[in-house]
Amino acid sequence: MIDSPPAAPSRWQRCKQIVARLEDGLLVLLLAMIIAAAAAQIVLRNLWQTGLVWGDPLTKVLVLWIALLGAMAATRDGNHINIDMLSRFLPPKAKTVSRLLTDLFTALVCAVLAYHAARMVLIDHEAATAAFDGVPTWVCELIIPAAFAVMALRFLGAFSLSIFKLLRPAP
Residues 130 and 92: beta-carbon distance below 8 Å = no
In a domain, 155, yes or no: yes
Which pLDDT belongs to residue 16? 84
For residue 119, what pLDDT is reported? 97
* Residue 62 in domain: yes
Is 1 domain-assigned? no
| Residue 7, pLDDT score | 67
**Does the structure show a pLDDT above 60 at 108?**
yes
Please give the residue that has the higher pLDDT: either 2 or 80: 80
pTM: 0.82
Please indicate, yes or no, if residue 30 is contained in any of the structural domains: yes
The answer to whether 61 touches 18, Cβ cutoff 8 Å, is no
* 30-46: average pLDDT: 91
Helix axes 143-167, 92-127, angle to 10 degrees: 160
Among 39-43, 60-64, 117-121, 165-169, which stretch is predicted with the lowest mean pLDDT?
165-169
Task: Look at residue 5 and tell me if it is in a domain.
Answer: no
Per-residue pLDDT for 86 more than 90? no
In a domain, 118, yes or no: yes
Does residue 4 lie within any of the structural domains?
Answer: no
* Total domains in the fold of the chain: 1
Q: Which residue range(s) make up the domain with 81?
A: 11-167
Question: Does residue 3 lie in a domain region?
Answer: no
Res 113: pLDDT: 97
Mean pLDDT of the region 112-123 = 97
Can you say whether residue 6 is alpha, beta or left, with left for phi > 0 and alpha for psi between -120 and 50 degrees? beta
